[in-house]
Structure 1
Amino acid sequence: MVEGLITVSAPHIPLHEPALQLRDLWLRLGREVILRGVNLDVMPGEGITLLGENGAGKTTLLRLLASGLRPTRGEGRVMGFDLRDSRAVREYIHLMPVDAGLYPDLSCTENLEFALKMHGQSGDVASALRRVTLEPAASRRVRFLSAGMRKRLALARAHLLARPVTLIDEPFANLDTAGRELVLELLGELRAGGVTLLIAAHEPELARQVAPRALRLAAGVLHEE
């Protein structure tokens, strides 16, 4: 681990209040109901593995928690802020989408520097790249990286930002055994630093090593596994 890399960069987290809270939350997109009366309480520093079949709505739930979607009905809060207050919510949350969400025409270094600038943070970009074995590709534009390299760069960004709530969609996809072991190490360090993790994954045996509480989304309803 790079010394000092993990620091939860936000005001003090109220440990007695849920980091994530949903109450009877519904989401309709067009004519389709995606989420049906979802209830959820996640305490600060907790690790959650979100399970479900393809199309169950896992990615949609992550987007909603990141304030990228507005609930149709019900209530939701992130670090005490209403989900509909997207500006406040985004100060506390980081979403790593399955496609990594990187800027293809920026280099690895520029992607991380831009992420820090957007959040008003500073950090050791070179160390973050070295941590995910991407230092030799530091100046390479993202569009020329392999899928696995893009995944590692996105993980370096999540690790560097260390937002109090980190949502990760399919962190083990497109990675070999060594890459998956690195993911587990990085996510474990985030949790050890007090970050609340919600991981959507098709590899529960891996995800539950760092996020032991499992929830399953099926037919729009969230169940404790």
Structure 2
Amino acid sequence: MGKDQPPHPTPHAPQPALQLRDLWLRLGREVILRGVNLDVLPGEGITLLGENGAGKTTLLRLLASGLRPTRGEGRVMGFDLRDSRAVRDYIHLMPVDAGLYPDLSCTENLEFALKMHAQTGDVAAALRRVTLEAAASRRVRFLSAGMRKRLALARAHLLARPVTLIDEPFANLDTAGRQLVLELLAELRTGGVTLLIAAHEPELARQVAPRALRLAAGILHEE
């Protein structure tokens, strides 16, 4: 390199999509999370493991700013977890019960989700993608558990938020339904979405989210 040539710039490490530092959460008298540290890069796929009652769902709710940490720091796409309005612009949580509006139809649920996030999208195509086009006008309360799960996945796919948290995506689904879930989640990751999946089927979840973390006694560690 000649004398007058500037040195090549050093590339900066990407900012984590999710970051927790010594985070504690107490609900009532019970300590749920104990000194949790976490770094998840943009576009990374994480499978969250743990026994029933370990706090997996609680951790997802906290990351979605549904709960406030008792102590410690957390950031989602650079925004403080305590700034719930900013965090919710970048994150989508699909709870185990699907989190749908039972008195709205399938179409209305998806249209409402787009409106809430000030987005546009092809609702009809999203319903076809999860084979619910025939149930487009049916109220959610009349859908089977598996159909509600597929509708919730259609919503997550339609919104494609930068960070998507999914609680038990394979529950209440047959083999074909589980394969559809894998395809939809793989498409999200291909599009650059950061995935955090809490699942009791690690052999399935790790196909699209290969890095595994385990939550036990309130402590998170690499599997």
Q: Contact (CA 8 Å) 1:13, 1:44: kept in 2 or not?
A: no
Distance 1:160 1:35 in 2: 32
Taking only the aligned residue pairs, the percentage that are identical comes to 94
TM-score, length-scaled by structure 2 = 0.94
Q: Could you give the per-residue CA deviations for residues 53-73 of structure 1, whole angstroms, max 9, x where no partner exists?
A: 000000000000000000000
Deviation at 1:134, TM superposition (A): 0.1
Distance 2:62 2:12 in 1: 23
**Cα distance 1:111–1:11, how it changes in 2: closer, same or farther (>3 A)?**
farther
Aligned to 1:126, the other structure's residue is in SS state helix
Aligned residues: 214
**Cα distance 1:13–1:152, how it changes in 2: closer, same or farther (>3 A)?**
farther
Runs of 5+ in structure 1 lacking a partner? Answer: 1-9
Distance 1:13 1:165 in 2: 19
Aligned to 2:149, the other structure's residue is in SS state helix
TM-score, length-scaled by structure 1 = 0.93
Give the RMSD, CA atoms, in angstroms: 2.7
Which structure has the larger Rg?
A: 2
**Cα distance 1:94–1:20, how it changes in 2: closer, same or farther (>3 A)?**
same
**Cα distance 1:144–1:12, how it changes in 2: closer, same or farther (>3 A)?**
farther
Runs of 5+ in structure 2 lacking a partner? Answer: 1-9
Q: Contact (CA 8 Å) 1:26, 1:73: kept in 2 or not?
A: yes
Deviation at 1:13, TM superposition (A): 13
Distance 1:154 1:104 in 2: 12
Q: Could you give the per-residue CA deviations for residues 11-47 of structure 1, whole angstroms, max 9, x where no partner exists?
A: 9996xx0000000000000000000000000000000
Q: Contact (CA 8 Å) 1:166, 1:198: kept in 2 or not?
A: yes
Distance 1:11 1:110 in 2: 45
Q: Which runs of 4+ in 1 moved over 6 A?
A: 10-13
Q: Contact (CA 8 Å) 1:13, 1:79: kept in 2 or not?
A: no
Aligned to 1:189, the other structure's residue is in SS state helix
